[in-house]
Amino acid sequence: MSAKHHITPIDSEIVMADDEFIVSKTDLKGNIIYANRTFMEMALLTEQQLLNKPHNIIRHPDMPQGVFKFMWQIIQQQQEFFGFVKNIATDGRYYWVFANVTPEYTPTGKLVGFLSVRRKPPTSAINVISPIYKEMIRIESLASSSHEAQNQSIAYLQDQLAQLNVDYQTLVINLFNETSWEEA
């Protein structure tokens, strides 16, 4: 099932409850091997529709490719990633999450996949990150290839971060904690 390619986005938001957590596990390639009930309810997908599918099955078209390339660069270095992500449900509605992706290891230390825990982000954080993502999408739409699109949008993101004198992880954690991004 490649739902993301057949879903028409609608401008209607599903808002997570403050005490909800979306949890999923993927293999090293990003294929879902576990999804909790909240994930299934938010995405409007069954366990069967999610398992062994790429995690990007829920990627909203408003999400820049560059953010995911950046995320993969971080987690493939076996580091923890924090970020804001706009996902799409199968009915076209969207939902924002604050994602934390961490590497998972066997007891002997072998990397086997990734654990992602997502929670409700503050509206103030989405108000800051949305215009950055929108510009990244615009930059990507002008690129001649997917590779070029990702690199150019990451360059834009890095430029914005440099202007704020902050790295992405610090920015998003501060936004999540509702710290003023100017103080980040």
Q: CA–CA separation, 88 vs 42, rounded Å? A: 9
Over residues 115-121, the mean pLDDT reads 97
How many domains is the chain built from? 1
Q: Are 123 and 130 in contact (CB under 8 A)?
A: no
Over residues 2-7, the mean pLDDT reads 58
CATH number, domain of 150, equals 3.30.450.20
Q: CA–CA separation, 127 vs 139, rounded Å? A: 19
Q: CA–CA separation, 177 vs 107, rounded Å? A: 33
* Model pTM above 0.85: yes
Residue 126 has pLDDT above 90, yes or no: yes
The residues with which 86 forms a beta bridge, in sequence order, are: 96
Over residues 117-122, the mean pLDDT reads 96
Over residues 122-137, the mean pLDDT reads 95
Kindly indicate the confidence band of residue 178, based on its pLDDT and cuts at 50, 70 and 90. Answer: confident
**β-pairing, 94-105 with 111-119?**
antiparallel
pLDDT of residue 4: 42
- Parent domain of 154: 3-183
Of 92, 90, 111, residue with least CA distance to 44: 90
pLDDT of residue 76: 86
- DSSP, collapsed to helix, strand or coil, labels residue 91 as coil
Q: Work out the mean pLDDT of the chain and round it to a whole number.
A: 92
How many angstroms separate the first and last alpha carbons of the chain? 40
Which stretches of the chain are assigned E, i.e. beta strand? Answer: 22-26, 32-35, 81-88, 94-105, 111-119
Kindly indicate the confidence band of residue 5, based on its pLDDT and cuts at 50, 70 and 90. Answer: low
Q: Which amino acid is at 169?
A: Q
Kindly indicate the confidence band of residue 182, based on its pLDDT and cuts at 50, 70 and 90. Answer: very low
Give, as one character, the DSSP assignment of residue 13.
B
Rg (Cα) of the chain, in Å, rounded? Answer: 16
Over residues 18-42, the mean pLDDT reads 97
pLDDT of residue 183: 43
